[in-house]
A and B are shown apart, each in its own frame.
Chain A
Amino acid sequence: MGIDIKFPIGLMFFILGLILTIFGLFTNSDAGLYHRSLGININLWSGTGMLVFGSLMLWLAWRSRKTKSK
């Protein structure tokens, strides 16, 4: 009905991924922050993962929209 859910899912994860990636880059040298996560910059990892997932969903949404309009 009405909307293609892939689009909002893609957009949300793209935005969240971008925010966490940037936050991860800025806090990369903050050892105190990443003490809990065993020294791993988990924000950077999670963020890039979400960026990839979000982009994939957006691409799928864009592709199915193109085939529909044909």
Chain B
Amino acid sequence: MGTNFSLDWIDYLVMVIYFLFVLGIGWALKRYMKDANAFLEAGRSMPAWVAGLAFISTNLGALEVMGMTGSGAKYGMLTTHFYWIGAIPAMVFLAMFMMPFYYGSKARSVPEYLKLRYDEKTRGLNAILFAIMTILASGISMYALAILMEKVLGWNFHISLILSAAIVLAYTYLGGLSSAIYNEVLQFFIIVIGLLPIVILSLKDLGGWSGLQHQLAPIVSNIPGHHYAPDTWTTTWKHTGTATANPLGVAWYGIFAGLGFVLSFGYWCTNFLIVQRAMSAKSSTAARNTPLIGAIPKMFIPFLIIVPGIAALVLLNKQGSGFSLPEISPGHYNYDYTIIALLKQYLPAGVLGLGITALLASFMSGMAGNVSAFNTVWTYDIYQSYIRPVTGNKEADEKHYLFVGRMATIFGVIVSIAAAYLASLFGNIMDFLQTIFSMINAPLFAVIFLGMFWKRTTGHAAFTGLLAGFLVALLHHGLTFPEGADTLVKGGWIYHLHSYPVEMAQNFWTAIFAFSTSALLTVGLSLVTRQKKSDGDLKGLVYSLTPKVKDKEVAWYQRSSTLAIVVLTIGVILTVLFW
């Protein structure tokens, strides 16, 4: 990358105005933060559209934007599997079948749902793993952003790390979950508007979608060591007949089962970071509509971040385009830099500041999401359960837990900063830890799904299933490795039993093994252990024991079922268009 890349006064002006608004929103909410409920649950008062955009925005963190643009260059339109098959069915399922129980049970977090449905130990296990995972994720994305800003803009690593963390801390400390959510909506719009110019300019530069297809064909078919069809990068399902015909290295059934079922349901339906946004909605109908409203922009985000990534691959191979990416080793590019290299390629002073602000906004929406989920789980599921239970004096309790929530916010940010520094020193170990902790999602989905839809499922079975699923995932990761992996971080740290063509395939199978083990064990053990909860205890927590939700009181076009049909229809149309 060239070094003649600096920001102008106008770029800094745009950035400063954004910072002022972000902090201003936190400041304006400060006077409403009177108790723990307001601070940690946003008082359950959010309109569906606000919660829905926050739902998508918190998922659109810096690692997502950087990573998915890079994946656009690496895998082309196949990356959309993470947005369409890998998100939409799970989001619709969450809305239609799971939100009534999460919201209706009055649980304040996903671990608390586990406590109500099963028992204390299942909640404890999930709460502790989730708290660690959340802080790790926050630290790693902070590190990724700071290193990008240092390498590209020459900003001091320490200053950008501390400053961005301080801004997130300020607005989440002041306004709690409400502030995180409102800012996520603002951040959503700035990410879209800030990145839109590179989509338009890169497509215009390369002759539109058809020009892109045309120029990709020779590049793709000449990738050494593979025999990819010329349209592999611009189609989604067409070349998934065999695993070797596409760069993901996974065939259609693997994508369908691994990504479309286990990974996506594990992530979207059980991750408290995501579910918390829907739980903050003002009514049961709004809570169900939250994931559905979020699903609509989610389906179009590929055009914002994947398509420019594909354009970057053409630019990389085009003589005289002036576009370059740093190389890890000769011929192997570091695709994490794709997004910022595109900003540099096309944006003049002014909109450039807006584009950099969009990256900062994506970082903040991700980190604030982590911090606001962490402080809730810490306060309710760890502190209130094991350290200082409620005393009975409601007013004093609320005050006390508000204080604890605030302290947890500060603590979460400090530990995130520490995690970011650990990532800068021991990057591989942090990657490894993140891989390990991401393995809790698949078994967690098995346990929550069985809990919601089978009243026989018992606490002992759920706990064992959760733990065993996690251990099997670990074992699978230790016994298999992706081909060409040079570090033990990628797997095979116990023994080299099996190798996968690419890391993606290994991840899919890890999740499938973990989910299956957890589901089978939970079902088996439920049949031989005694159900300690009566039908009365499980009312509102299990499908068959809960009165059906009727959303007849709202107009037909506001009903969840109507929205779900709209979402699925758009999903099908997009899939067919880019087949």
- Interface set of A (CB-CB < 8 Å, partner B): 1-3, 5, 8-9, 11-13, 15-16, 19-20, 23-24, 27, 33-38, 40, 42-43, 46-47, 49-50, 53
Contacts and interface: CB of A to CB of B under 8 A. Distances in A.
A47 B196 CA distance: 12
9 contacts: A1-B43, A9-B189, A12-B17, A13-B193, A16-B354, A19-B17, A33-B348, A43-B350, A43-B351
B21 A12 contact: yes
A3 B18 contact: no
Interface string B174-197: 000010001001100100010011
Interface stretch (B25-33, B77-85, B390-398, B408-416): B25-33
Contact of A9 (B29, B38, B185): B185
Contacts of A19: 10, 13-14, 17
Contacts of B478: none
A46 B354 contact: yes
A3 B28 contact: yes
Looking at B42, B196, B347, B350, which has the most chain A CB atoms within 10 Å of its CB? B350
Nearest to B188: A9
A3 B28 CA distance: 8
A38 B186 contact: no
A37 B186 CA distance: 26
Contact of A1 (B18, B24, B45, B349): B45
B345 interface: yes
Given A5-B25, A9-B189, A46-B354, 19 more contacts: A1-B42, A8-B182, A8-B186, A12-B21, A12-B186, A13-B189, A13-B193, A15-B17, A19-B14, A20-B14, A20-B351, A37-B197, A37-B201, A38-B201, A38-B205, A42-B347, A42-B348, A46-B193, A53-B193
A68 to B, nearest CB: 13
A24 B347 CA distance: 13
Interface in B237-295: none
A50 B376 CA distance: 35
B346 A8 contact: no
B220 interface: no
Nearest to A20: B350
B66 interface: no
B346 A36 contact: yes
B50 interface: yes
A35 B346 CA distance: 9
B204 interface: yes
Contacts of A13: 189, 193
B203 to A, nearest CB: 11
Looking at A8, A27, A50, which has the most chain B CB atoms within 10 Å of its CB? A8
Nearest to A3: B28
B106 to A, nearest CB: 18
Contacts of A46: 193, 196-197, 350-351, 354
Contact of B350 (A1, A15, A24, A40): A24
Given A38-B205, A46-B197, A1 B351 contact: no
Contacts of A3: 25, 28-29, 182
B232 to A, nearest CB: 28
A23 B352 CA distance: 13
Contacts of B349: 33
A23 B21 contact: no
B346 A37 contact: yes
A1 B178 contact: yes
A35 B21 CA distance: 32
A8 B24 contact: yes
A36 B322 CA distance: 11
A9 B182 CA distance: 9
Looking at B38, B42, B346, which has the most chain A CB atoms within 10 Å of its CB? B346
Interface string B471-509: 000000000000000000000000000000000000000
Contacts of A37: 197, 201, 346-348, 351
Looking at B13, B28, B205, B354, which has the most chain A CB atoms within 10 Å of its CB? B354
Contact of A42 (B13, B18, B29, B351): B351
Nearest to B50: A5
Contacts of B201: 37-38, 40, 42
A59 to B, nearest CB: 16
B178 A9 contact: no
